[in-house]
Structure 1
Amino acid sequence: MSLEQKRILATSIPGPISVQMQERRKQVVSAGVGTTLPVFIDRAHGAILKDVDGNQFIDMGSGIGVVTIGHTNEKVVAAVQEQVAKLTHTLFTVAPYEPYVRVAELITKHAPGNFAKKAAFFNSGAEAVENAVKIARKATGRTEIAVFDHAYHGRTNLTMSMNFKAHPYGTGFGPLAGSVHHTPMSYPFRDSEGLTGEEAATRAITYLEKRVGAGQLAAVFIEPIQGEGGFIVPAPGFLRTLSAWCRANGIVMVADEVQSGIARTGKWFASEWEEGFEPDLITVAKGIAGGMPLSGVVGRAEIMDAAHAGGLGGTFGGSPTAVAAGVAVLEQIEEGGWLERALEIGELLTSKLTALQAQYPIIGDVRGKGAMIAIEFVEAGTKTPNSKAVEELVKHCHSNGVLILNAGTYNNVIRFLPPLAITNELLEDALEVLAAGLAKL
């Protein structure tokens, strides 16, 4: 599993073998399955991706936040190897197995909230969100769902309706699901100057009360730090005020932590950054199982138990191999060191990126928590989104051995989601490549 933790450019990007493989891909893979970095990865370990041509890339995206504790983490690999040799499938709702229970014990133990909790497991983040909708509707007897501007929740029919940005996720795929209502988000960089979190929450609440009616809402879904929207961190007080309103009106408060949870921000869950915010349900996926397909819903026991037997599940949901990987990930985080490392990464990234912001006025905002940091690009001296700069920087970084990801409603954000196993040397190398790209613009 070892791989030198070093950026290496052995060929041009993409290399000749990757080019050949792309031609094979075009013949048999749907054009709807796009590619960000046009190389084929052969191996990975820690924070390094090695392609079929021998190039090594610094991974600043972690598979969009999936391999949080690093590629091919030794304990995750060992857990998967052991489990796959023992049992690969029964379906937990037919004949259960212990690792499913163990991962539920771990996730309920560390989810925020001073109340009894239960969990259920599925395959993808979108599937977790859909099941949270089902649970909330069954628990409340209501139908309507509220979501926020700039949100992203998935690519299924229902979750496409919950997304803010239509393209590319929903273009041409309608009609989409109904009973979903969008309300204004707290976006400190773009909100009116001086708008507090409480004021932004009041704006959202007023809209929902007038447009939908509190008594009609089953749940309010929010990402404590928005992912695809550009790592938007709401102003302090926003989440707490929303939560209090939901509690007063019998509405289930759901935190979508598919991207922000599982040690990514320096806490088990990003929800913990807002004092007094205790969501009723939390959706998880991505970083929970080190690259294996596992997602879940965790929350108040009485709400989770509202669903009737057989109402939750799915053929591969919480598969033996995936939950074994989940146990290996969560037990390592529990052992310590990972939350602290996320905070260290955040400090290093924020310091370096803030220095670049002072040098380059096209960087309008640096934001995020822990190892979930983003920079928003604007036309210099304005807040006009600058997507062209992001496009050029992404190309520059990719051609120089650094995998970075764009984001944002206006496609003008670069997000950093490095594995927590990354070294400071690799982080600084990646940022030097970014700085060189900025100098070229």
Structure 2
Amino acid sequence: MEGVDGGEEGVADAEGDEGLGDLVGDEARLANTGEKDGARGGEEENDVTFPKMPPFDFSPPPYNGPTVDEIMAKRKAYLSPSLFHLYKKPLNVVDGKRQYLFDDEGRRYLDGFGGIATVGCGHCHPDVVEAIVNQTKRLQHSTVLYLNSAIADFAEALASKLPSDLNVVLFTNSGTEANELALMMAKLYTGSHDIISLRNGYHGNAAGTMGATGQSVWKYNVVQSGTHHALNPDPYRGVFGSDGEKYAKDVQDLIEYGTSGNVAAFVSETIQGVGGIVELAPGYLPPVYSSIKKAGGLCIADEVQAGFARTGSHFWSFEAQGVTPDIVTMAKGIGNGIPLGAVVTTPEIAKVLTRRNYFNTFGGNPVCTAAGLAVLRVIEKENLQENAHVVGSYLKDRLTALKNKYEIIGDVRGRGFMLGVELVTDRQQKTPAKAETAHVLDQMKELGVLIGRGGIYSNVFRITPPLCFTKEDADFLVDAMDYSVSKT
């Protein structure tokens, strides 16, 4: 269910895209097929460097599969009509290696989206692949009713990454499942039913998580009761700017005016992914957690997108706010693309599930948990958290320099490899530049750079690459954005 959370990107807007496509098409193909080598230093045009893709020593095998048209025909015939593709010309990705993807023609793309903040170690990392293959050869699936070391070993390793009291792990198959389970556990534990979440937040598209999600584009017209959405502590668009404590008072007001005085839980991302890479205002979570505790509730940290070292400064994004949650939910980066999620909580809270039978057939599957353990080891072995911090900071600095160059860039935000660039047609009014965002996104693809798009107005670039991204990759991404924006 988490797989569609890039949906606000939709199909790129068509108007005005033809001109730049003609301008960059031939040069872009040269730039990323290796006929032009080097990380940067392309020809200057109006003080803009033509982007040059860094060299990479890998060529995928020839592709002999169905064509784009054949795949699109099957999608239309057999898959949900709610599916969409991101670009004007659909991209058929057939191979991946580290921070790069390859299409059916063998063309290389720099992956600045990471499968929606999912690929942390890099595409097809040999250690992760080996763990998956070895476990698959021995035992693909049995049931948690039998013993198997894979699930226990990963649970132990995962718990070691969290505060000491958070040491009980419940495995799921996705972030939506993890958040659904966390919300249910909070209600059972507290005996209350009111949930407080944030406007602009995203937590999934099942019954409970859809209620907690704070964007109408993700909410179908079904019953969603018991959730109260607090003011979003958005430093760029929020009413109180970066004053976290003022936003926190709204949560206390919701408790006093909208509930019985007791709540089940407060759930939030520390950096909103689907919402457009919005990092919560400094100092927000400590007073909010205090208010929730006084109201008898639990605090749930949604780390589905920002966890597993993605923010660089910390392994978990909630750590940047100096708080300790009662429950942590996670998915995406946990398995580098394998369908896997988890809820981690305290022994006391976990006991609520013993009141009845709780069971998840695939939660804790040996192949998935073997992959998860391999991911943790790769992050440590290759020092990917430090890389996310160093290269991510460098990338943010370069993007900030672009903001100073172009009026259309209203904000650059985030940390590590979870960065957002918001486009506006008027900096004072902060008028969303939706069409321009779609245009630049499409043209960056033509130049060989893939990034995401989000925010409630669909005007924010989501930059969430694999954690093995290099400074040369960062330069290429920014040069591609520079070139594309200059032609807008």
* TM-score of the two chains, using structure 2 as the length reference: 0.83
CA RMSD of aligned residues (A): 2.2
Q: CA deviation at 1:375?
A: 1.0
Secondary structure (helix, strand or coil) at the match of 1:306 reads: helix
4+ residue runs over 6 A deviation:
none
Equivalent of residue 408 in structure 2, options 357, 362, 366: 362
Bigger mean CA deviation after superposition, 22-31 or 322-331? 22-31
AA partner of residue 204 (structure 2) = G
> What are the residue-to-residue correspondences of 1:247-326 with 2, within 5 Å?
247-266=293-312, 267-275=314-322, 277-308=323-354, 311-326=357-372
Distance 1:6 1:309, change over 3 A: farther
* Partner SS for 2:414: strand
Corresponding residue for residue 466 of structure 2: 419
Q: Which aligned pairs between 1:182-201 and structure 2 lie closer than 5 A?
A: 182-192=229-239, 196-201=243-248
* Residues 1:255 and 1:193: Cα distance change in structure 2 (over 3 Å): closer
Deviations 1:188-223 (A, max 9, x none): 1112355511111012221232112331x1111010
CA distance in 2, matches of 1:25, 1:60: 25
SS where residue 101 of structure 2 aligns? strand
Secondary structure in 2 matching 1:101:
helix
Residues in 2 aligned to 1:46 and 1:427: alpha-carbon distance in whole angstroms:
14
Report if the CA contact (8 A) 2:388-2:416 is conserved: yes
Q: Which of residues 188, 196, 202 is equivalent to 1:152?
A: 202
Q: 2:128 aligns with which of 55, 58, 76?
A: 76
Of residues 149, 152, 167 in structure 2, which corresponds to 1:117? 167
CA shift in 2, pair 1:199/1:22, >3 Å: same
Q: Which residue of 2 aligns with 1:86?
A: 138
Q: How does 1:2-401 map to 2 (within 5 A)?
A: 6=56, 17-37=67-87, 38-92=90-144, 94-111=145-162, 113-167=163-217, 169-170=218-219, 173-192=220-239, 196-215=243-262, 217-266=263-312, 267-275=314-322, 277-308=323-354, 311-335=357-381, 337-382=383-428, 383-401=430-448
What does residue 13 of structure 1 align with? none
Give 1:114 deviation, angstroms.
4.5
The amino acid of 2:117's aligned partner reads G
Specify whether residues 162 and 116 from structure 1 end up closer, same or farther in structure 2 by C-alpha distance, changes over 3 A only: closer
Distance 1:336 1:51, change over 3 A: closer
Deviations for 1:280-336, whole angstroms, at most 9, x for unmatched residues? 101000000111111000122211222117643312112111000000011222346
* Contact 1:90/1:96 (8 A) holds in 2: no
Change (3 A) 1:7 1:238: farther
Which secondary structure does the structure 1 equivalent of 2:342 belong to? strand
**Pair 1:141–1:22, CA change in 2 (3 A):** same
Q: Contact (CA 8 Å) 1:5, 1:426: kept in 2 or not? A: no
- Cα deviation for residue 89 of structure 1 reads 1.1
Contact kept in structure 2, 1:42 and 1:52, CA below 8 Å: yes
Q: 1:153 to 1:5 in 2, by over 3 A?
A: farther
More divergent stretch after superposition (80-89 vs 238-247): 238-247
1:418–1:109 CA distance, 2 compared to 1 (3 A): same
* Distance in 1 between residues matched to 2:378 and 2:324, nearest whole Å: 24
Structure 1 residues 164 and 106, CA gap change in structure 2 (3 angstroms): same
In the alignment, the residues of structure 1 paired with residue 470 and residue 55 of structure 2 have an alpha-carbon distance, to the nearest angstrom, of 8
Deviation at 1:395, TM superposition (A): 1.1
AA partner of residue 60 (structure 1): G
Change (3 A) 1:208 1:388: farther
Whether the 8 Å CA contact 1:201–1:241 is kept in 2: the answer is: yes
Aligned residue among 443, 453, 466 for 1:406 = 453
* One-letter amino acid matched to 1:35: H
The alpha-carbon deviation at position 101 of structure 1 amounts to 1.1
Tell me whether 314-323 or 378-387 shows the greater mean CA deviation: 378-387
- Give the letter for the 1:408 counterpart: G
Answer yes or no: is the 8 Å Cα contact 1:7–1:401 preserved in 2: no
Q: Distance in 1 between matches of 2:281 and 2:241?
A: 10
Identity level (%): 32
In 2: Cα distance, 1:44 partner to 1:264 partner: 20
Conservation of the 8 A alpha-carbon contact between 2:100 and 2:108:
yes
- Structure 1 range deviating more: 362-371 or 379-388: 379-388
Equivalent position SS for 1:409: coil
Distance in 2 between residues matched to 1:117 and 1:379, nearest whole Å = 48
Q: Structure 1 residues 5 and 105 mapped into 2: Cα distance closer, same or farther (>3 Å)?
A: farther
Q: Is the 8 A contact 2:399 2:412 kept in 1?
A: yes
Q: Which whole-Å CA distance do the structure 1 matches of 2:419 and 2:57 have between them?
A: 21
Q: Distance in 2 between matches of 1:87 and 1:255?
A: 33
For residues 139 and 352 of structure 1, the distance between their equivalents in structure 2, rounded to whole angstroms, comes to: 47
Q: Per the alignment, do residues 238 and 396 of structure 1 end up closer, same or farther by CA in structure 2, a change over 3 Å counting?
A: same
Match of 1:147, SS state, is: strand
Return the offset for 1:62: 0.6
SS at match of 1:176: coil
The residue identity in structure 2 corresponding to 1:393 is V
Equivalent residues of 2:255, 2:295 under 8 A apart: no
Contact 1:160/1:176, CA 8 A, preserved across alignment: no
Q: Letter of the 1:381 partner, please give it.
A: R
CA contact (8 A) 1:6 1:426 kept: no
Listed as ranges, the gaps of 5+ residues in structure 1 are 11-15
* 1:349-396 deviation line (CA, Å, top 9, x unaligned): 111111100011111111101110111111233212221221111111
Aligned residue type for 1:344 = V
Partners of 1:401 and 1:7 lie apart in 2 by 17
CA shift at 1:431, angstroms? 1.6
TM-score for both structures, normalised by structure 1: 0.92
Structure 1 residues 312 and 231: alpha-carbon distance in aligned structure 2, compared to 1, 3 A threshold: farther
SS at match of 1:110: coil
Structure index of larger Rg = 2
